[in-house]
A = this chain, B = another copy of it.
Amino acid sequence: MTKPIIFLQKKFREEFTEKIQSIAPDYQIKNTLTEEDFAAVEISVGWAEKFEDQLLATQKLKWVQSISAGVDYLPLDKFSEQDILLSNGSGIHALSISEHIIGVLLGYYRGLNEAVKKQGRNEWAQKSIHYDQLAGKNLLVVGTGHIGQQLSKSIHSLGVNVFGINTTGHSVEGFAETYSIKNMAKIVPEMDIVVGILPGTHETYHIFNSDIFEKMKKTAVFVNVGRGDTVHTKELITALEEKHFAFAALDVFEEEPLPKESPLWEFDNVLITPHISGMTIDFQNKFMKIFLSNLKSYVSSKELTVNQVEVKRGY
């Protein structure tokens, strides 16, 4: 009988394929598949749409370890029907994204973005540069998962007061207060900074819309590093035109790459970054900590220990 296959949809260093083999000696490890291989894949690391039909055809697939934190691009309904286990890469990018967020906030508050633009014109613009202080600000983290917790920890130590939003409003260590997502509009007027770190689900679709933007302080900052479609882009553009708040730093968009003709590129008070907040050095080490831990428990008991996603809920 053919050995079941662990299909690595991404190349990993040899040290890691060796570790995988030693933990799971009864499996074949493959980076590329022949036609007949597909029917033997039991575990897929990563997910590409082009292989979807073949991987789901024979009902042999038991576990998908996603590389990303977000899993909204996966066929969750089919995973649910076939009882496929799912785990994600949540946590790997937490430090990078936290550093990105602190960077964009200081870039705004300390006038650094303006300085970059003025440097391009050899312009010494000391008097006109906007400056403010990050310490002392109230920051609302919308999404108190791995990334939100890392951000909270780091930015609290810079003197920022950190509040959180999650589904139920349950308290989370490191947050001064937490509120349920349905109460978000009530707390937004007290915040200097609103940071979106939400996964893409039915509940979070367009959750950042004019209702929220119009309640923000005129001096407030909006940062989005979650999913692009958590933001109602048209209403965001209107809010920026009407100056409902002061500055936006956007790393994710409903359409990516952000189309050349999007008005978002043109705002002086918007920083566009090309979905780079999660870019992470030392990625393989960080990812393998999750996958190898899950692989050990999967091999022994068909269970996952880290980052399991409830397929029906989507996070």
Q: Which residues of B contact A112 (CB under 8 A)?
A: 100, 103-104, 107, 113, 271, 273
* Residues of chain B contacted by A274 (CB below 8 angstroms): 115, 118, 124-126, 129
CB < 8 Å neighbour of A99 from B104, B133, B157: B133
A134 in contact (CB, < 8 A): yes
Beta-carbon contact of A133 and B280 below 8 Å: yes
CB-CB under 8 A for A96 and B133, given A106-B106, A112-B104 = yes
Give CA–CA (A120, B125) in the complex, Å: 18
Cross-interface CB contact of A154 among B120, B129, B132, B158, cutoff 8 Å: B158
Question: Could you say which of B106, B126, B271 contacts A115, with CB atoms under 8 Å apart?
Answer: B271
Does A265 contact B131, Cβ atoms closer than 8 Å?
Answer: no
Q: Which one of B109, B118, B135, B273 lies within 8 Å of A111 (CB-CB)? A: B273
Which chain B residue shows the least CB distance to A109? B99
Closest-CB distance, A188 to chain B (whole angstroms): 23
A132 to chain B, nearest CB (A): 6
The reply to whether the CB of A62 lies closer than 8 angstroms to some CB of chain B is no
Of A116, A158, A260, most buried by chain B (CB within 10 Å of CB) is A116
Q: Which of B100, B134, B265, B275 contacts A110 (CB 8 A)?
A: B100
Question: Do B99 and A103 touch across chains, with their CB atoms under 8 A apart?
Answer: no
A interface secondary structure, majority: loop
- CB nearest neighbor in B for A124: B257
Report how many residues on chain A are interfacial, defined by Cβ distance under 8 Å. Answer: 50
Judge whether A117 is part of the interface by a CB distance below 8 angstroms.
Answer: yes
Select from chain B the residue with minimum beta-carbon distance to A277: B110
Residues 248 to 294 of chain A near chain B (Cβ within 8 Å):
256-258, 260, 265, 271-277, 279-282
User: Which residues of A in the span 89-142 have a Cβ within 8 Å of any Cβ on B?
Assistant: 95-96, 99-100, 102-104, 106-107, 109-113, 115-120, 122, 124-126, 129, 131-135
**A285 → chain B closest CB, angstroms:** 12
Whether A272 touches B115, Cβ cut-off 8 Å, given contacts A95-B135, A99-B109, A100-B110, is: yes
Q: Contacts A99-B110, A106-B103, A119-B271 hold; do A281 and B154 have CB atoms under 8 A apart?
A: no
Query: Mind listing 5 A-B residue pairs with CB under 8 Å?
Result: A96-B110, A102-B102, A102-B158, A119-B271, A131-B281
Given contacts A103-B103, A112-B271, 11 further A-B pairs with CB under 8 A are A100-B106, A103-B106, A107-B107, A111-B276, A115-B271, A119-B265, A119-B272, A124-B274, A131-B276, A131-B280, A133-B280
What is A's interface to B at a CB cutoff of 8 Å?
A: 95-96, 99-100, 102-104, 106-107, 109-113, 115-120, 122, 124-126, 129, 131-135, 154, 157-159, 256-258, 260, 265, 271-277, 279-282
Nearest 8 A-B pairs (CB), nearest first? A103-B106, A157-B157, A124-B257, A126-B274, A131-B279, A115-B273, A116-B116, A122-B265
